[in-house]
Amino acid sequence: MKWKVLGSAMGLMAASAAAHAQSSVTLYGVIDDGLTFVSNQGGHHAYRMDDSISQGDRFGFRGAEDLGGGLKAIFDLEGGFNPNTGASRQGGLEFGRQAYVGLQSDRFGTLSLGRTYDQMTTTLIRYHSGYWSGIYAFDAGDHDRISGNWLNNVVTYVSPTVRGLHFSAQYAFNSLSATANNYGVAYSLSATYEHGPFSMGAAATSIHDYTVTPGSSLGVSRFLGTNVAFSSQAVVVDRYRTAGVGASYDFGIVGLSGLYTNTRYEKGANASTLQSFNVVLHGNVRPDLVLAGGYGYSKMSPYQWNEFNAVLDYLLSKRTDVYLSANYDKANGGARAVLVTLPISGNDKQLAVRVGIRHKF
């Protein structure tokens, strides 16, 4: 009897070890912080201790369980935070950056449910200068959602890659408690093709009853017939639609990327379109030194914006780097300058110079 009990216990331990070997949970994150000089912030220059600029600060748990036959159960729980105060980002949500669960098949692709990014960022961010220079570098208030925006209550399907081509599709149900993301239903689609050093991607997102703050994010006085007076006044559009196409080519030491986006707002009988063009040249001066420079142009009649950015990034290790960046925005047509996430300028110009440190774990 003693040997039977011992044998059963050993069998249970072996089964537990086998199950453990087929499952994995990874703790990961990014901490980015630094000092920024802003030439004009509400009419005065400012010195800011700013975080989440090169990348959004985050911590998360990512896991997978091998179910056999090329099928896995997957999940990701990711929260944003401010390292200077300890406060949660994304409106205080515990896992505001991502929270989803799903199934992944080598043959059929991946299906997940929860909260995650739409395809404008998942597919197109790699072609934008903001990928290298940080959040300040994104175009015209990031109204094309390239830097990273979320959909709630979303079903996401990602196909397998076949001969360098794969596509993704998302559908989001009503999210009545989170107007900044998708108050009404939404969908997002994308396709990406890669062949050697060449990559190309296209994406589109449509959201009903979408909230924007054009006065403070674009630096405009009027929007869709409404006087927003350069303020943070919210405007709910009946339908928001954005689409973009980007491409890149890696020449080895140097890489070149370009992106075009077209964003349309509709509210009653009024409609307006914002177009943005962006190009970036990046390269490794040395194996541990990256230099990138980009230019972006945006227009939404009668307003225009010209944005210039550059970054010098020194890699202390594979996980830690220090960087120096500069971003300049020049607005025209009566708009005021405003770099993404910064307070609006008192005039049509805004310069941000930053030194920062980033650590990934």
Torsion angle in degrees (nearest 10) through CA of 99, 75, 170, 90: 20
With respect to residue 4, please indicate whether it lies within any of the assigned structural domains: no
Question: H or E segment at 80?
Answer: strand 71-80
With respect to residue 282, please indicate whether it lies within any of the assigned structural domains: yes
Residue range 224-283, pLDDT digits in tens: 999 999 999 999 999 999 999 999 999 999 999 999 999 999 999 999 999 999 999 999
Residue range 59-93, pLDDT digits in tens: 999 999 999 999 999 999 999 999 999 999 998 99
**Position 43 pLDDT exceeds 70:** yes
Q: How far is 273 from 340, CA to CA, in rounded Å?
A: 19
With respect to residue 14, please indicate whether it lies within any of the assigned structural domains: no
With respect to residue 211, please indicate whether it lies within any of the assigned structural domains: yes
pLDDT at 196: 96
CATH of the domain at 138: 2.40.160.10
Over residues 309-330, the mean pLDDT reads 98
Please tell me the total count of domains within the chain. 1
264 Cα distance to chain centroid: 20
- Domain span at 269: 24-360
With respect to residue 15, please indicate whether it lies within any of the assigned structural domains: no
CB contact set of 95 (below 8 Å; sequence gap of 6+): 60, 77, 78, 79, 115
pLDDT at 175: 60
Overall residue count recorded for the chain in this entry: 361
Q: How far is 316 from 319, CA to CA, in rounded Å?
A: 8
- Tokens 């979320």 correspond to 150
